[in-house]
Amino acid sequence: MFVPIRVLVVDDEERFRLLMAKLFTTKGIHVATAASGPEAIERLQSGEDYDVIVLDIKMPGPSGLDILPDIRALAPRSQVIILTGHGDIQAATRALQDGVAEFLLKPCSFEELLSAVHQAVDRIRTTAA
């Protein structure tokens, strides 16, 4: 049975969220978006379930790294991919130590992000099997 991949894109840039939603949808991936960390947390608290959460670091309010513990608590099965234009070695190290599946820097091609999403989903399905 085919189960579609579910992705949550968390980024404060509306144009980026809309573009990612369109591109993921063309690949048969179910996508939701959140404009901020608190909005993403609300989605998770309401019981929405995602295979992969694509998370920006630098956003107004709490950063992506600030909400990572909440994401881990609310969605322990979800894989998190950091996609940011504001990364540095310290942020990448912290994110990877906190269990992030991938740390990608903007600009990154959609193909690279899509590949990271598929690898993350493969990890989930391999662990669940």
Three-class SS state of 68: helix
Query: What are the boundaries of each domain within the chain?
Result: 53-84+99-129
Instruction: Give pLDDT tens digits for 10-68.
Output: 999 999 999 999 999 999 999 999 999 999 999 999 999 999 999 999 999 999 999 99
Tell me if the pTM is above 0.85. yes
d(CA 75, CA 93): 21
pLDDT of residue 92: 81
Backbone CA torsion sign across 12, 13, 15, 20:
negative
Burial 54-80 (b: 16+ CB within 10 A, else e): bbbbebeeebbbebbebbeebbeebbb
Instruction: Indicate if the pLDDT at residue 71 is higher than 80.
Output: yes
- Cis ω for the linkage preceding 60 (within 30 of 0): no
Enumerate the H helices of the chain as residue ranges: 14-26, 37-45, 64-74, 89-97, 110-128
Asked whether the predicted pLDDT for residue 1 surpasses 60, the reply is no
| Structure confidence at residue 53 (pLDDT) | 98
Q: How many CB atoms lie within 10 A of CB 52?
A: 28
Furthest CA-CA distance within the chain? 41
Q: How much is the pLDDT for 125?
A: 82
CATH superfamily entry for domain 53-84+99-129: Response regulator (3.40.50.2300)
pLDDT of 128 > 80? The answer is no
Structure confidence by residue, pLDDT tens digits, 79-125: 999 998 876 778 888 888 878 999 998 889 999 999 999 999 998 88
